[in-house]
């Protein structure tokens, strides 16, 4: 899922400074699960903003809502009536949700309340780690189900490098060496011969390097 | 007389772009340079233009410099991050390449290694900031340098734009001047009247502008440009002139020369872009009377 975290409150207050009445919109999908932008976070953040603005002598009215999902146009209708009454929307969805809000309600500013961080999962309660770089050319079948693009700090396809020490990456003792993990998993699977292969240079054109991406599925088009 | 002196002299500056080779055989590259020795003020050596892998601008510029040519080293942003770009600029300075031309650069997917990872860590304004800071004695992270480089810095602007896009371009030009740009080299221009209107707005900035003049090889090339190259337009009268002339090469050289002579009254110099016709550049210079 998409992992995000809330922007510093000071940054949010600065964005909202010109406004007296806004919609604060959460999202019921990924950011609810990672507890950055769900219904509960909408309530907490709305209170924080109200208090800060009250203390600054510049009160703000905030309408609270949480859409089923902000990443699909059909759910934008849930915010349609509410948007009529406000000057702007503070979206605490991922960047996709903020952009869909901006696109749908074109004449009103949409501000991001979160920083969209990465694609990953909660490793333990309160700890989220990256697992996928959405590079568009999956190699997990070669690397024991562990992604070297997202998890190796150099995105090496032929690792490990000399920076691998005691299973950790040279960038930080808190970061596992992806290629140590790949080695361990391939060993467990009896597939260590995979490491004898030289993986050729990656085709980054399927990643962001080929420009903004788009998939057209003719079989799904109406 | 270095390039900075040419800028200050007020003479009409002549620059010629020569592509470095794809490989290490410099025979043709140096041959093209020798053919115009003493007739132009500088040779611009593009770096990985259109993301085609070639010999680096740094190496090719250094070779030219050693042979007594004034070289303009090109530093685009597309394929190197801020660490590599700053390092390359320090390298250019110690190699005596003090004239640098900064551009945004091209994405790899238009070149001959379309699967390469693109960089674009800095845009050209960021890179101009980096050059400014290097010249002040520290890097982008604020670390002190041992020895401070000095550059004459060029940037580019799109001369083919009109209306509100031109207004945005003027804002960009102003920003670049604030960041220390000493001269501009434009995108290719074929329309004197349109360029005259652009220069009316750019001239008050009082920064030398060198207009790019592409050698038009054929009617087909003109039509290709009009169809596919945003911001560059070959006017109908040039296409008609090319169509009517039985000797296409002569027409090509005459058209290029007449454009250059026309630009003499509009800006501070030209940059001739031969697009594979480097061996015709002496004829263009002859036709111009240079």
> Which of chain A's residues have a Cβ under 8 Å away from the Cβ of B107?
209, 211
> Which of chain B's residues have a Cβ under 8 Å away from the Cβ of A207?
117
Q: How far is B111 from chain A (nearest CA, A)?
A: 11
Residue A75 confidence (pLDDT) above 80: yes
Q: Which residues contact A213 (CB under 8 A, 6 or more apart)?
A: A136, A206
φ and ψ of B51, to 5 deg? 55, 30
Mutate which: A135, A157, A209, A211, vs B, most B CBs within 10 A: A209
Q: Count Cβ atoms below 10 Å from residue B125 Cβ, excluding itself.
A: 18
Q: In terms of DSSP bridges, do strands B209-214 and B269-273 run parallel, antiparallel, or are they unpaired?
A: parallel
Only one residue has tokens 């020798």, namely B34
> Which of chain B's residues have a Cβ under 8 Å away from the Cβ of A211?
107, 109
Copy the structure tokens of residue A106.
Answer: 């074109």
> Which of chain B's residues have a Cβ under 8 Å away from the Cβ of A208?
118
Q: Sign of torsion, CA A92 A93 A95 A98?
A: negative
In a domain, B236, yes or no: no
* A201, A202, A210 ranked by CB distance to B109: nearest: A210
In a domain, B85, yes or no: yes
Q: Which of residues 118-137 of B touch A (CB under 8 A)?
A: 118
Q: Count Cβ atoms below 10 Å from residue B277 Cβ, excluding itself.
A: 20
Residues paired with B272 in a beta bridge: B16, B213
* Domain locations along chain A: 2-118, 133-203
Contact check, Cβ <8 Å, A211/B108 = no
In a domain, B254, yes or no: no
Contact check, Cβ <8 Å, A201/B115 = yes
Answer yes or no: are the C-beta atoms of A209 and A169 closer than 8 Å: no
What is the predicted pLDDT for the residue at B163?
86
> Which of chain A's residues have a Cβ under 8 Å away from the Cβ of B53?
none
Domain made up of A2-118: CATH architecture: 3-Layer(aba) Sandwich (3.40)
Copy the structure tokens of residue A208.
Answer: 């962001």
In residues, how long is chain B?
A: 290
Only one residue has tokens 């596919």, namely B228
Structural domain including B189 reads 3-217+262-281
Only one residue has tokens 């769900």, namely A38
| Interface A-B: count of C-beta contacts within 8 A | 25
Contact check, Cβ <8 Å, B117/A202 = yes
Answer yes or no: are the C-beta atoms of B180 and B131 closer than 8 Å: yes
> Environment class of residue A80 by beta-carbon count within 10 Å: exposed (0-12), middle (13-18) or buried (19+)?
exposed
Copy the structure tokens of residue A116.
Answer: 């969209």
DSSP3 helix / strand / coil % (chain B, rounded to 5): 45, 15, 40
DSSP 8-state symbol, B117: P
What is the predicted pLDDT for the residue at B27?
98
CATH number at residue B72: 3.20.20.220
Answer yes or no: are the C-beta atoms of B89 and B134 closer than 8 Å: yes
Only one residue has tokens 């002139």, namely B241
ipTM of the complex: 0.88
Computed over its alpha carbons, how large is the radius of gyration of chain B? 19
Interface of chain A toward chain B, CB-CB under 8 angstroms: 201-205, 207-211
What is the predicted pLDDT for the residue at B230?
85
- Put the strands of the sheet holding A88-91 in their side by side order: A61-67, A21-27, A88-91, A110-112
Q: What mean pLDDT value characterizes chain A?
A: 96
Query: Any chain A CB within 8 A of the CB of B116?
Result: yes
CA–CA separation, A16 vs A20, rounded Å?
8
Answer yes or no: are the C-beta atoms of A31 and A39 closer than 8 Å: no
Residues paired with B210 in a beta bridge: B185, B269
Copy the structure tokens of residue B276.
Answer: 């594979």
Contact check, Cβ <8 Å, B115/A204 = yes
In a domain, B28, yes or no: yes
> Environment class of residue B129 by beta-carbon count within 10 Å: exposed (0-12), middle (13-18) or buried (19+)?
middle
Residues paired with B138 in a beta bridge: B144
Give me the tens of pLDDT residue by residue for chain B, a chain 290 residues long: 789 998 888 899 999 999 999 999 999 999 999 999 999 999 999 999 999 999 999 999 999 999 999 999 999 999 999 999 999 999 999 999 999 999 999 999 999 999 999 999 999 999 999 999 999 999 999 999 999 999 999 999 999 888 888 999 999 999 999 999 999 999 999 999 999 999 999 999 999 999 999 999 999 999 999 999 888 999 999 999 999 999 989 999 999 999 999 999 999 999 999 999 999 999 999 999 99
Answer yes or no: are the C-beta atoms of B286 and B14 closer than 8 Å: no
Higher pLDDT, A121 or B2: A121
Task: Outline where DSSP puts E strands in chain B.
Answer: 13-17, 42-45, 71-76, 99-103, 152-157, 183-188, 209-214, 269-273
Q: How far is A31 from chain B (nearest CA, A)?
A: 29
> Which of chain A's residues have a Cβ under 8 Å away from the Cβ of B114?
205, 210
Q: How many domains does chain B have?
A: 1
Give the pLDDT mean for A103-127. Answer: 97
CA–CA separation, B69 vs B15, rounded Å?
11
Contact check, Cβ <8 Å, A205/B107 = no
CA–CA separation, A105 vs B191, rounded Å?
42
Chain B: residue nearest A207 by CA?
A: B117
Residue A169 confidence (pLDDT) above 90: yes
What angle is formed at CA B193 by the lines to CA B188 and CA B196, rounded to 5 degrees? 80
CA–CA separation, B52 vs A190, rounded Å?
43
> Which of chain B's residues have a Cβ under 8 Å away from the Cβ of A202?
115, 117
Q: Provide the 3-class DSSP secondary structure of residue A153.
A: coil
Q: CA dihedral defined by B74, B75, B79, B81, rounded to 10 degrees?
A: 170
φ and ψ of B214, to 5 deg? -85, 135
Answer yes or no: are the C-beta atoms of A11 and A78 closer than 8 Å: no
DSSP 8-state symbol, B49: G
DSSP 8-state symbol, A24: E
Query: Any chain A CB within 8 A of the CB of B108?
Result: yes
What angle is formed at CA A133 by the lines to CA A130 and CA A134, rounded to 5 degrees? 130
CA–CA separation, A25 vs A29, rounded Å?
12
């Amino acid at each position: 899922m998409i992992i995000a975290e809330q922007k510093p409150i000071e940054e949010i207050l600065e964005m909202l400074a010109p406004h007296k009445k806004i919609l604060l919109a959460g999202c019921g999908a990924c950011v609810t699960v990672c507890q950055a932008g769900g219904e509960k976070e909408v309530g907490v953040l709305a209170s924080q903003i109200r208090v800060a603005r009250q203390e600054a002598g510049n009160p703000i009215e905030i309408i609270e809502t949480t859409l089923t999902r902000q990443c699909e146009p059909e759910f934008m209708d849930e915010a349609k009536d509410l948007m009529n009454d406000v000057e702007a929307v503070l979206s605490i969805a991922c960047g996709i949700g903020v952009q869909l809000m901006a696109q749908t309600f074109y004449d009103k500013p949409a501000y991001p309340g979160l920083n969209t961080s990465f694609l990953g999962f909660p490793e333990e309660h309160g700890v989220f780690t990256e697992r996928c770089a959405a590079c568009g050319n999956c190699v997990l079948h070669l690397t024991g189900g562990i992604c070297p693009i997202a998890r190796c700090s150099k995105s090496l396809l032929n690792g490990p490098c000399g920076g691998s020490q005691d299973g950790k990456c040279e960038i930080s003792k808190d970061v596992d060496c992806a290629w140590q993990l790949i080695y361990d998993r391939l060993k467990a699977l009896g597939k260590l011969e995979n490491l004898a292969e030289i993986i050729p240079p990656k085709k980054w054109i399927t990643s962001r390097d080929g420009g903004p991406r788009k998939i057209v599925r003719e079989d799904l088009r109406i | 007389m270095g390039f900075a002196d040419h800028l200050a002299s007020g003479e009409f500056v002549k620059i010629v772009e020569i592509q470095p080779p794809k490989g290490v055989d410099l025979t043709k590259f140096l041959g093209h340079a020798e053919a115009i020795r003493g007739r132009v003020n500088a040779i611009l050596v593009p770096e990985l233009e259109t993301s085609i892998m070639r010999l680096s601008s740094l190496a090719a510029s250094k070779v030219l410099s050693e042979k007594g040519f004034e070289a303009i080293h090109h530093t685009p942003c597309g394929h190197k991050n801020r660490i590599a770009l700053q390092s390359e600029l320090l390298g250019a300075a110690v190699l005596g390449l003090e004239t640098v031309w900064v551009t945004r650069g091209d994405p790899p997917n238009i070149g001959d290694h379309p699967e390469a990872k693109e960089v674009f860590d800095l845009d050209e304004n960021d890179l101009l900031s980096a050059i400014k800071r290097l010249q002040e004695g520290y890097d982008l992270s604020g670390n002190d340098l041992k020895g401070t480089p000095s550059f004459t810095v060029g940037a580019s602007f799109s001369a083919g734009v009109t209306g509100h896009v031109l207004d945005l371009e003027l804002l960009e030009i102003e920003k670049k001047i604030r960041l220390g740009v000493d001269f501009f080299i434009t995108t290719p221009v074929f329309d004197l009247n349109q360029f005259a209107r652009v220069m009316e707005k750019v001239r008050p900035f009082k920064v030398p502008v060198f207009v790019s003049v592409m050698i038009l090889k054929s009617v087909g090339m003109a039509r290709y440009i009009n169809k596919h190259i945003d911001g560059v337009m070959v006017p109908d009268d040039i296409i008609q002139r090319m169509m009517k002339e039985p000797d296409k090469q002569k027409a090509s050289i005459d058209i290029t020369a007449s454009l250059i002579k026309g630009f003499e009254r509009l800006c501070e110099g030209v940059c001739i872009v031969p697009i594979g016709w480097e061996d015709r550049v002496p004829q263009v210079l002859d036709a111009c009377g240079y």
